[in-house]
Every structure is written in C-alpha cells, then in structure tokens.
Chain A
Amino acid sequence: MLSLIGKRLMFAIPSLIGVVIVTFLLTRALPGDPAAYFAGPSADKQAIEEIRKKLGLDKPLIEQFFRYTADLAKGDFGNSLTTGQPVATEIRNRLPASAELTLLGLLVSIMIAIPLGILAATRPGSWIDHLCRVTTTAGVSLPVFFTGLVLVYVFYFRLGWSPAPLGRLDVFASTPPNVTGFYLIDSLIARDWEAFRSALNQLILPTATLAIFSLAPIARMTRASMLAILSSDFVRTARASGLSPRAVIVTYAFRNAMLPVITTLSMTFSFLLGANVLVEKVFAWPGIGSYAVEALISSDFAPVQGFVLTMAVMYVLINLIIDILYGVIDPRVRLEG
C-alpha cells in the first residue's frame, strides 16, 4: 500500500513541474499590462515604468521564471496585487471556505442521488425512474448561478426564511477560533452554538444550489451501473439462491456497482471545487474560485499561478484517494495496481 502511494506521488512530480511552467507562461501571455493597471487612472508613462520596476516586470522572462520558482521552493507564492495579500495566506484562508461548501454540497447530493439511482435501477420504467430522469435533467440544465439566484429570490427576498446571502457567517456573528478552517467544525470545537447555527444557515442555500447541480452525474451513473450489474449472472444466481432482495441489492449489486460511481464522484468533486465560482459570486462566498476569477480579470499573475498549482495538487491527491478506495472496494484492482 505504502509503495503504491509513493509510486503514485512520484508520477505526479513531472506533471506538477509541467503545471508550474505552463501556468507561468500562460499568465505572461494574458492580454493586459499589470503595471498600467496598477499605476491607477491618472498615471503617465513614467509612473507606469516605475510600477513595472517595482513589480519586477522589467526583467527578462527567464529571470522572472527563476525568481518565481526559487520563491515557490520556499513556499512563497508571491503577492496578489488586487487584494494586496500574500497568495499562500489567501489560498489557505479561502480553500476551507470552498471545500466546506463543496463537500457539504456533495454530501447532500450523494444522500439524494445514490438512493434515487438505486431505486430507479431496481424499478426501471416506474414513476421513480421518471422522477430520477426529470430531476437530474432539470438539475443539470439549470445554470448554477440561475438556481442560486432563484433560491435567494424565493427564500431570502420573498419569504425571508434564509439569512442574507452575505458569505459564511451572519454579519454580526463572530468567527469561531480557527482550527480546521471549516466553520461548522470549528464552532463545534469551540462549543459556540450561535456561530454553528449561523454558519449552517448561511450554508443551506449555496449547498442546495451545488447539490441540485451535481445530482445528475451521480444519480445517472448509479442508475446505469446498477442496471448493468443487476442483469449480470451473479445477481441472478444470488436471487435464485433465495437471498432477500435487500441483501442482493445492497451487499452484492451495489458494492460491485460502486467503482464507476466513485470515479464520477471524484470528477464531480474536483469539478465543483473549481467551478463553483458562480455560486461563490452569488452568495458572496469568500472562496477560492471567485478569488481566481477576480485575479484573472485584473491580470494579477501570482494568484492565478497559485490557484492553478493548488488545484493541480488537489487533483493529484483526489486521484490518489480514489485509487486507494478502488483497492478497498474491489480487491482485484489492488492486485493489478
């Protein structure tokens, strides 16, 4: 097991180096001149040159690259110009916000999608199968920002049930002491029930938005994979041997149907983490996605590079976890690996 993990990580190193080089070059190829942008509205040519010098952008590209990698080796991602903060700190602060939202969204989604998929597969053509089809199609065809805005409109603006979409906590609540960066967990650790409630309330609408969106791939994949397994020989044998339908479906069929579902889950998770920018924008969520987009808009190199690098590392880690999970679920995969 350990050697497998080691080997996997070794394989990841060249791709990470590739990511560093490509993001560096791509950000330099972005249109727009950060020096002109940050010199402000009333700067003349000389002022812009002064800023360029301060930012080190007057140096040749190769020197800029070596300087960047040397800083990177020290764990220094550089400074964001738009927010004025070190990128590493910002990503560290913002990643938990995105992760908490995404994980919760995924959890809710799994809790609905997997039972829905299984039920649909066991009764193909029934009303529950149609329900599964309709909800998944509807969920995936509504753009996330639209779902988010509709939820805000109905539950905040019209009904007033939900708190103001102002980020992770109520404006007047104080942040729980930072342990994991996940407010739900941190507030529980601090036994701060008010903060916990506030954080949970703030999470409900964005979580629902993400869950509705990610329902489709998971439910569809569960259904398809369950259908294939249910028609296979060993399930027929199990049924013929008189096992209870519950034992057949949960113990035998579902476990075998799980591999493609897990793959879809990993893809959905990484996709959600990067792509929930719009949800973050709608709910003023201080996450990593909106951070990266704002940086892109203002040609702010350092955060974009830091973001892509973080995402690359996350992908490597998620893939690793998935590979290990495969082995746990299906011993045959482990032997081949």
Chain B
Amino acid sequence: MKRRDFLKTATGAAAGAMVSGPAIFSSAKADARSETLLIVSESGPNNLDIHGVGTNVPGYEVSWNCYDRLIGHEMKAGPGGVPYYDRDKFKPELAEDMTISDMSATFKLRKNAKFHDGTPVTAKDVKWSLDRSVSVGGFPTFQMSAGSLKKPEQFVIVDDHTVRVDFATKDRLTIPDLAVIVPCVINSELVKKNATEKDPWGLEYTKMQTAGGGAYKVTKWTAGTEVILERNDDWVSGPMPKIKRVIWRMVPQAGNRRALLERGDADMSYELPYKDFQEIKANGKLDVVSLPFSNGIQYIGMNVTKPPFDNPKVRQAVAYALPYQKIVDAVLFGLANPMYGASADKPTEVAWPQPHKYNTDMAKAKALLAEAGYPNGFETTISFDLGFAVVNEPLCVLVQESLGQIGIKTTINKIPGANWRTELNKKEMPLYTNVFSGWLDYPEYFFYWCYHGDNSVFNTMSYKSPEMDKLINGARTAAATGDKAAYDADVKGFVDLAFNDVPRIPLYQPYVNVAMQKNISGYQYWFHRRLDYRALVKA
C-alpha cells in the first residue's frame, strides 16, 4: 500500500467512525436512559462516609441519599414555588414516631426497615451510629456538639426498636441537629466485622462502600471520575423513589458541562459559572432553579484587633464605600439577594439574614474616614480564596476600585484554596471576603459562630464584645425556654449591634443554581444544598 493511500484510508476510517458516533445507542440503552439520571458536576466525593476524615461536600450528597436518619424535614413552598425544606416541621424517616418530653426524645423505629444487605435495622445500630458520630472527632463530632449532643451516654436503647436521646441541656438546636446529614444510621454489625484495632469505627471500610439502609446504594465509585448509584427497592422509610439509577460524572470543564446540558446528554448540573446560568435561564431551553442559601451570607470582613480596622468609624466608612449594586449586577448577574440598602426607617426584624442600611455613598464614607483620623486614606491588602475565584476575583477588583476613591489603597492577595482555611484560622488578614452558611437556620446559631467572643473559626474578624455575647447567650436561653419576648428583643439587639459595629459587612445572600432538562422535576432545596435523588422524577 502506498503511503498516500494509507493516509487516505486512515482519515477515511477515522471520519467514518466519527460520523457513526451517536448511532451506538441501541434500543436497550434507550430504555436504560429513561430510568437513569445523568448528573455532571465539577468535583466528586473523596469519601462515601460523612464520618470519615476530611470528607468533602460532594461526599455529603452520597451520605444523604444512601443512609437514613431518624427524622427528616417536611417540604414547604419556597421562593418561586420550588419545594424548600421546612425548618420547623419534622417528618419521620427511619423512626416512625417521635415523642419529645422535657429532657429527652424517644424514637420508635420502623419494624420492617432493613439495611442494604438484608439485616434488620435495630436500636443497637442506631445507638452505635450516634455513638460513632460523637466519638470519631473532627467535623461530625463538631456538628453534633452544635446541638448539645456530645456524649455516647446520651443515646439509650429502650428496647429492640426504641431509642431515647437524652438532652444534656435545654437546647432548641438538639432536634434539628438530629435531622442533619451527620447522625445517619449505619449497619453496625457489617462495619464492626470490617473494623480493625487501629480503626475501631471502621472508617476505612465505609469510606469505600456504603453500609446503610437508605434509598440508594453506591454500586460503583471511581474516584474523580464517576459514582453510580442504584435504587434500593426494599426501602421503607419513604415513598419509593422514581429514579432507578443515578450516574454522576465529574466533568471539570464548565463549558463542557453546559454543552452536555444543552445537547441534552446530561440531565442535571450545578457548579456552573453565574454567567452561564444567567444565559441558560434567558434562552429557556432548560429549567434553572435559583434559590437563596439558607442562613448564608457573602461578606467583607475586617480584622478588628489591629489598626486601622479597630476603629468602628473606619469600618463604617468602608461599609459606605462598597459598590454593592455593581457586585450583584456584574459579578453575580443578578443571581443573589441584596443584603444592603434597607430604607432608613425600616424596623429591625427578628430574622436572619436581613439587609443592613448601608448604601454606596462616597461623600459619607470620606467624611467618616476623615473623622476617624485618616483623611488621606491608608494602604492595606484584601485577600480572597482562589478556590472560588469566579466570584471572589471580580468582587475584590470592584472593591479595590471603589475603596481607591476614598483613598484606601488595596493590594489583592490571592490565596490558594488549600491554604485559605489556614489563613482564616490565623486571623491575621486585615481585609478579606468570605462566605458563611449554617446548616441550622437560626439567627442565634449564625451569630454564635460568627460574632460571639468565644472566637470560633468563623468569627474571622476576632470580634469581641461583652454586650454582643450577652445578647447571643440571652437569645439561646430564651429559645430553649420558649420565652418569645426576650428572644425577639435579643435577636433584634444583636442584629442592630452587628450593623452598628460592622466588623463584617454583609454583601448578599448567594444563590444555589441548578440547571436541568425540562423533563426533570421534583427538585428540592435542602440546607446542605446538594441533590436529594429520592424526590426527583424523569418524565
């Protein structure tokens, strides 16, 4: 064969193979397609167990769908009629009945509930799982302690199908904390069999496979590439899910995720750039759900322990100098709830998040800065997390430009994602932007983590004020005892104080954006902002 002929045939063969590409779907596959949900996202889980060391957020999604908890939340109509979890209403999941008395809650388990391997779910499993969550350390233990669930002794086996949770103190957050992802029920016998002396809780085992009794089970997991989940047809803790199989593929390139959606190859995607969501929304070929993060705020923080930001006047000046509207329009393409510019006579509400009364007003900012003793401004750095550069970078550039107008010269400091938490923990950055959102949607929960003098990681400003601590503690006690008047007064008090002292300036409440094909319905918003496959339907 001559060289040229060979080249000809080679290109011919290549072109032939390419043209026949889409034809490879046989009809059997078309059926499989209609019962299968294909989700594409940027990153996937690193661990299938939320109790594991360093489980990432995509890992939460697996845990949520593959394990049952004692209780879950009811749905209510959220913004735009999209089902939104109801913070105040609980529904039974693995427990068929919950009785709350003064200092304990008793759960009756479903008698016919089974784990994926067929073993019945008993009170022993529940106790072991809850013990595990408060004992393994790290994030799960920390989350449990947020609801005053700290010791294994608090979980008592009453009989084979009854478990009692004793309250350590009166805390309004205890019951909600039992409905988050962490207190999931694990197949204790199976995991114990695979535990080792070095790893008594079997974390290595559950990292690689799901050992629960939830509506789905992971049948294949290739880290960084795909997760395949199959429905558990013996699931009894809720109505049988419609989707038989979920294929979750990691597609790192945002443009390709959009192309896959628009071509109709993928069914759902999140983690697309705001601009893409906005365009997808505008052209109407796909359904886009945009909902505000519950209890979440993107903010500009200032270190109040060091000059110049130790001066409240400087902080107020910055609050008057931020380009709020520009940020929402140019960075987020309008997909955010403004947390600024409330009218001057608007009374403070007993709610969080709520907008503050600062607005972009350069004259006022300049005057305040002069009053504080910096008529010519000063120099500082503004830091952000490169892991969320899509939002953070343009945001910081806008802030830099705007602060420049009142003489505050800022240098932008980009911090790699891996390093961001270390830097936050050091509490040395003078000026930065960050986002915080709490799983539990209560004002006092948010304020306890972000403003309290106990100085948690999220009090990134190192803000300390005895008055603030008194109000936050007051609200927590009032909530536990049901003293509504005191609670309302305290919440209003700490919101006002936070806005007057402005150690951090709320910018907006971010949106979670999910794009899906028109034939997909049943999306529900959850506090963890991941997908609940159990409710999804593919027509």
Chain A residues in contact with chain B, CB under 8 A? 30-34, 36-45, 47-48, 50-51, 54-55, 80-85, 90, 93, 111-112, 115, 149, 152-153, 155-157, 160-167, 170-173, 194, 197-198, 200-201, 204, 281-284, 286, 290-291, 294, 297-299
Residue of B nearest to A44 (CB): B457
Determine whether the beta carbon of A163 is less than 8 Å from that of B54.
no
A39 to B457, CA, bound (A): 12
Contact of A297 among B33, B249, B418 (CB under 8 A): B418
| Chain A residues in 8 Å Cβ range of B531 | none
Contact of B17 among A111, A156, A197 (CB under 8 A): A197
Stretch of B137-145, B317-325, B331-339 with 4 or more beta carbons under 8 angstroms from chain A = B137-145
Question: B38 within 8 Å of A by Cβ?
Answer: yes
Residue of B nearest to A280 (CB): B252
Determine whether the beta carbon of B54 is less than 8 Å from that of A51.
yes
Chain A nearest CB, measured from B223 CB (Å): 3
| Chain A residues in 8 Å Cβ range of B18 | 155, 161-162, 201, 204
A67 to B47, CA, bound (A): 24
Determine whether the beta carbon of A37 is less than 8 Å from that of B418.
yes
Chain A nearest CB, measured from B128 CB (Å): 21
Chain B nearest CB, measured from A296 CB (Å): 9
- Between-chain CB contacts (< 8 Å), 20 pairs: A39-B138, A40-B138, A42-B139, A45-B425, A47-B139, A51-B54, A54-B53, A84-B47, A85-B223, A153-B259, A166-B249, A167-B225, A201-B18, A284-B249, A284-B251, A286-B222, A286-B225, A297-B418, A298-B417, A299-B418
Residue of B nearest to A165 (CB): B256
A154 to B93, CA, bound (A): 48
| Chain A residues in 8 Å Cβ range of B419 | 31-33, 299
Determine whether the beta carbon of B224 is less than 8 Å from that of A294.
yes
Chain A nearest CB, measured from B390 CB (Å): 15
A284 to B224, CA, bound (A): 10
Determine whether the beta carbon of A172 is less than 8 Å from that of B142.
no
A291 to B44, CA, bound (A): 13
Determine whether the beta carbon of A50 is less than 8 Å from that of B138.
yes
Determine whether the beta carbon of A33 is less than 8 Å from that of B416.
no
Contact of B223 among A37, A47, A83, A156 (CB under 8 A): A83
Determine whether the beta carbon of A167 is less than 8 Å from that of B249.
yes
Question: B52 within 8 Å of A by Cβ?
Answer: yes
Question: B32 within 8 Å of A by Cβ?
Answer: yes
* A-contacting residues, B431-446, CB 8 Å: none
| Chain B residues in 8 Å Cβ range of A43 | 138-139, 142, 421, 457
By CB atoms of chain A within 10 A, which of B22, B54, B223, B417 has the most?
B54
Residue of B nearest to A198 (CB): B24
| Chain A residues in 8 Å Cβ range of B376 | none
Question: B3 within 8 Å of A by Cβ?
Answer: yes
Which 10 A-B residue pairings sit nearest by Cβ, starting from the closest? A38-B54, A83-B223, A32-B418, A32-B419, A299-B418, A40-B139, A33-B422, A36-B421, A286-B225, A164-B265
Determine whether the beta carbon of B14 is less than 8 Å from that of A51.
no
Determine whether the beta carbon of A32 is less than 8 Å from that of B422.
yes
Question: B55 within 8 Å of A by Cβ?
Answer: yes
Question: B196 within 8 Å of A by Cβ?
Answer: no
By CB atoms of chain B within 10 A, which of A40, A44, A149 has the most?
A40
Question: B262 within 8 Å of A by Cβ?
Answer: yes
Residue of A nearest to B23 (CB): A197
A43-B457, A84-B46 given; A162·B21 CB < 8 A: yes
Determine whether the beta carbon of A157 is less than 8 Å from that of B138.
no
By CB atoms of chain A within 10 A, which of B226, B255, B418 has the most?
B418
A31-B416, A163-B22, A282-B253 given; A42·B458 CB < 8 A: yes
Question: B250 within 8 Å of A by Cβ?
Answer: yes
A194 to B28, CA, bound (A): 13
Determine whether the beta carbon of B259 is less than 8 Å from that of A51.
no
Determine whether the beta carbon of A156 is less than 8 Å from that of B10.
no
| Chain B residues in 8 Å Cβ range of A84 | 45-47, 52, 207-208, 223
* A-contacting residues, B244-274, CB 8 Å: 247, 249-253, 255-256, 259-260, 262-263, 265-266
Residue of B nearest to A53 (CB): B137
Chain B nearest CB, measured from A247 CB (Å): 15
Known: A47-B142, A54-B53. 7 other contacts (CB 8 A): A33-B418, A37-B417, A42-B142, A42-B449, A43-B138, A115-B7, A166-B265
**1/0 contact trace for B466-493 toward A, CB 8 Å?**
0000000000000000000000000000
Contact of A48 among B249, B262, B417, B425 (CB under 8 A): B425
* A-contacting residues, B137-167, CB 8 Å: 137-139, 141-143
Question: B19 within 8 Å of A by Cβ?
Answer: yes
| Chain B residues in 8 Å Cβ range of A286 | 222, 224-225
Interface residues on B, range: 35 or more
Determine whether the beta carbon of A50 is less than 8 Å from that of B47.
no
| Chain A residues in 8 Å Cβ range of B255 | 149, 152
Chain B residues in contact with chain A, CB under 8 A? 3, 7, 10, 14, 17-22, 24-26, 29, 32-33, 36, 38, 40, 45-47, 52-56, 137-139, 141-143, 207-208, 222-226, 247, 249-253, 255-256, 259-260, 262-263, 265-266, 416-419, 421-422, 425, 449, 456-458
A39-B54, A84-B52, A282-B256 given; A291·B224 CB < 8 A: yes
A33 to B425, CA, bound (A): 11
Determine whether the beta carbon of A83 is less than 8 Å from that of B53.
no
Determine whether the beta carbon of A194 is less than 8 Å from that of B17.
no
Chain B nearest CB, measured from A220 CB (Å): 19
| Chain A residues in 8 Å Cβ range of B19 | 161
| Chain B residues in 8 Å Cβ range of A32 | 416, 418-419, 422
Residue of A nearest to B224 (CB): A83
A167 to B250, CA, bound (A): 9
Determine whether the beta carbon of A204 is less than 8 Å from that of B17.
yes
Chain A nearest CB, measured from B201 CB (Å): 12
A165 to B25, CA, bound (A): 16
Contact of A42 among B143, B207, B252 (CB under 8 A): B143
| Chain A residues in 8 Å Cβ range of B142 | 42-44, 47
A218 to B459, CA, bound (A): 58
Chain B nearest CB, measured from A99 CB (Å): 17
Determine whether the beta carbon of B137 is less than 8 Å from that of A44.
no
Contact of B138 among A47, A170, A291 (CB under 8 A): A47
A155 to B46, CA, bound (A): 33
| Chain B residues in 8 Å Cβ range of A157 | 259, 262-263
Chain B nearest CB, measured from A160 CB (Å): 7
A270 to B521, CA, bound (A): 48
Chain A nearest CB, measured from B47 CB (Å): 5
Chain A nearest CB, measured from B187 CB (Å): 20
| Chain B residues in 8 Å Cβ range of A93 | 222
A30 to B5, CA, bound (A): 53
Determine whether the beta carbon of A81 is less than 8 Å from that of B46.
yes
| Chain B residues in 8 Å Cβ range of A153 | 259
Determine whether the beta carbon of B53 is less than 8 Å from that of A284.
no
Determine whether the beta carbon of B21 is less than 8 Å from that of A171.
no
A55 to B417, CA, bound (A): 19
A72 to B139, CA, bound (A): 31
| Chain A residues in 8 Å Cβ range of B208 | 84
Determine whether the beta carbon of A163 is less than 8 Å from that of B418.
no
Determine whether the beta carbon of B46 is less than 8 Å from that of A83.
yes
| Chain A residues in 8 Å Cβ range of B265 | 164, 166, 171
Chain A nearest CB, measured from B420 CB (Å): 8
| Chain A residues in 8 Å Cβ range of B143 | 42
Determine whether the beta carbon of B223 is less than 8 Å from that of A90.
yes
| Chain A residues in 8 Å Cβ range of B56 | 40, 82
Chain B nearest CB, measured from A234 CB (Å): 24
A31 to B417, CA, bound (A): 10
Determine whether the beta carbon of A39 is less than 8 Å from that of B47.
no
Chain A nearest CB, measured from B198 CB (Å): 11
Chain A nearest CB, measured from B177 CB (Å): 13
A60 to B254, CA, bound (A): 41
| Chain A residues in 8 Å Cβ range of B26 | 194
Determine whether the beta carbon of B421 is less than 8 Å from that of A82.
no
Determine whether the beta carbon of B46 is less than 8 Å from that of A164.
no
